[in-house]
């Protein structure tokens, strides 16, 4: 809802471009890794063509995997192009990057856009403030040409950060965010990147998809304009979107060892590539952590010995009648040779304090197991 892409173009045909995503493993001291993880966790029917058609505009772009916690990729802004690493985030709708006018520590450690070096840039007289679980930015709106791989959008409105909160935004390995949620979440009066891809007919299908891998190498991708079916096994299971803001669907239950531990009355689930963990109501997450980690170490209920993974239960999520399994080696992350970290986080009760309905966020812990397809033409999500 808030969060690298080594782009390498591989032309498969005149109409399809594949850009593999690379997993980036960074070695750090265990205490440092834990601090980073804790900060990351705080943020917290037209038919699709099964085979590429000669006229279809389809592009697949490589993403980098940072510690199984965040995936990011490369885009270009301006003429001539200035390159940035951005988080392709299904939990937000705005595009922004740091500006050369930003002197915050979190800006100085990242690439910054210089409007004076782009012949196609236009200033827009509007200030903005965007807040995320991972921090906030204040800035202004601008308009310029955006390029994602071989896809080019003209007159794209985007944010230029002039002041950013320090902390996590200072340490993340990407420069900005590219939101892929619905227009209702975007800054009022602006059109998100995906909508312009669609409106300017840069892509022929109003669809994008993610394959997020846990493996190193060129293995994770984001796809625009269709689906490369080599990235999933079996049939895509479609789930209707229940509210066109986040990519939000209905979920029936969450269970462990045959016992329902969440979503007992049915609930809403937000499918979010920008969140690393599985996030739910604090009281339910606390109960789950007690169940899977009855003897926490370091007085931290999320920290456990890695040897315990082999005895931990499988998590079962029921969505639209289909049971999706999440094995323990996916919901537990290794932060050192012996110490592991459970990727559950509380706090969704703060999303809509006035609502009594239960909400969960299915982040990268879930999306590393299941390829996800986002179909704006039919307001549905596909999982495979």
Distances (CA, A) of 269 to 226, 319, 366: 24, 9, 12
Catalytic residue among 89, 94, 144, 364: 89
Cα–chain-centroid distance for residue 342? 19
**Strand order across the beta sheet in which 243-244 lies:** 243-244, 247-251, 267-271, 359-362, 278-280, 344-346
For the chain, the domains span: 66-202, 230-383
User: Which of 195, 272, 364, 375 is an active site residue?
Assistant: 272
CB neighbourhood size of 101 (10 A): 16
Return the pLDDT at 60.
Answer: 83
Identify the CATH assignment for 66-202 out of 3.90.1150.10, 1.10.3720.10, 2.40.70.10, 3.40.50.970: 2.40.70.10
Note if 299 is an active site residue: no
pLDDT score, position 218 = 54
Contact indicator for 187, 92 with CB cutoff of 8 Å:
no
In the block, which residue shows the tokens 């058609």? Answer: 53
CB-based burial of residue 148 (10 Å sphere; 0-12 exposed, 13-18 middle, 19+ buried)? Answer: buried
Residues 6+ apart with CB under 8 A from 366: 271, 278, 317, 324, 326
User: pLDDT tens digits, residue range 136-177?
Assistant: 889 999 999 999 999 999 999 999 999 887 667 777 888 999
The sign one gets for the Cα dihedral 260, 263, 269, 273 is negative
Q: Which two tokens stand for residue 349?
A: 């009760």
| pLDDT of res. 216 | 59
Give SS3 for 348.
helix
Closest CA to 101 of 123, 80, 75: 123
| Number of Cβ within a 10 Å radius of residue 229 | 16
Q: Which segments of the chain have a pLDDT < 50?
A: 2-54
Q: In CATH terms, are 66-202 and 230-383 the same topology? A: yes
Digit-coded pLDDT (tens) for 216-246 = 555 899 999 999 999 999 999 999 999 999 9
Residues in Cβ contact with 298 at an 8 Å cutoff, skipping those fewer than 6 apart: none
Q: Is the peptide bond preceding residue 259 cis, with omega within 30 degrees of 0?
A: no
Q: Which helix (H) or strand (E) holds 298?
A: none
Tokens of 164: 């950013």
CA 26 distance to own-chain centroid: 20
Active site residue 228: no
Q: What is the pLDDT of residue 232?
A: 93
**Cα-based angle 250, 273, 19 (whole degrees, multiple of 5):** 130
Cβ(61)–Cβ(223) under 8 Å? yes
pLDDT for position 166: 66
CA distances from 42 to 51, 125, 132, 191, 237 (A): 40, 33, 10, 28, 31
pLDDT of 260-290, one tens digit each?
A: 999 999 999 999 999 989 999 999 999 999 9
Q: What's the pLDDT at 67?
A: 67
Q: What is the pLDDT of residue 236?
A: 97
- Residue 3 near residue 72, CB atoms below 8 Å: yes
d(CA 82, CA 238): 38
- Distance, in Å, from the CA atom of 174 to the CA atom of 162, rounded to the nearest integer, reads 17
pLDDT for residue 3:
26
| Nearest C-alpha neighbor of 326 from the set 318, 317, 337, 335 | 317
**Strand ranges (DSSP E) for 116-244?**
122-132, 135-148, 151-164, 176-179, 207-211, 217-224, 237-240, 243-244
**According to CATH, what is the number of the domain 230-383?**
2.40.70.10
Residue 230 makes CB contacts below 8 A (sequence gap 6+) with none
């Amino acid at each position: 809802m808030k969060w690298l892409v080594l782009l390498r173009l591989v032309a498969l045909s005149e109409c399809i471009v594949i850009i593999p995503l690379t997993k980036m493993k960074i070695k750090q001291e265990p205490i440092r890794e834990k601090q980073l993880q804790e900060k990351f966790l705080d943020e917290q029917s037209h038919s699709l063509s099964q085979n590429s058609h000669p006229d279809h505009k389809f592009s697949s772009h490589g993403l980098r995997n940072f510690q199984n916690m965040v995936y990011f990729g490369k885009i270009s802004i301006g003429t001539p192009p200035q390159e940035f690493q951005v988080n392709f985030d299904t939990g937000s709708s705005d595009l922004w990057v740091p500006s050369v006018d930003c002197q915050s520590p979190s800006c100085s450690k990242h690439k910054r856009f210089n409007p004076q070096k782009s012949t196609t840039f236009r200033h827009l007289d509007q200030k903005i403030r965007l807040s995320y679980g991972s921090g906030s930015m204040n800035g202004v709106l601008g308009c310029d040409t955006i390029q994602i791989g071989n896809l080019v959008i003209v007159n794209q409105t985007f944010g230029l950060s002039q002041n950013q909160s320090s902390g996590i935004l200072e340490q993340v390995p990407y420069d900005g965010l590219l939101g892929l949620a619905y227009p209702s979440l975007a800054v009022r009066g602006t059109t998100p990147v995906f909508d312009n891809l669609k409106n300017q007919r840069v892509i022929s299908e109003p669809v994008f998809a993610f394959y997020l891998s846990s493996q190193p190498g060129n293995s994770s991708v984001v796809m625009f304009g269709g689906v490369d079916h080599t990235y999933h096994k079996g049939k895509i299971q479609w789930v209707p979107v229940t509210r066109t803001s986040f990519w939000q669907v209905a979920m029936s239950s969450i269970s462990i060892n045959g016992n329902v531990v969440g979503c007992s009355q049915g609930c809403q689930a937000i499918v979010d590539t920008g969140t690393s963990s599985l996030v739910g109501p604090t009281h339910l997450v606390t109960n789950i952590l007690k169940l899977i980690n009855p003897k926490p170490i370091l007085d931290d209920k999320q920290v456990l010995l890695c040897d315990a993974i082999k005895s931990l239960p499988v998590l079962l999520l029921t969505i639209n009648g289909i049971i999706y399994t999440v094995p323990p080696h996916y919901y537990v992350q290794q932060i050192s040779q012996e110490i592991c970290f459970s990727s559950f986080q509380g706090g969704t009760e703060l999303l809509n304090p006035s609502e009594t309905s239960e909400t969960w966020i299915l982040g990268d812990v879930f999306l590393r197991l299941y390829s996800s397809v986002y179909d704006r033409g039919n307001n549905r999500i596909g999982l495979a």
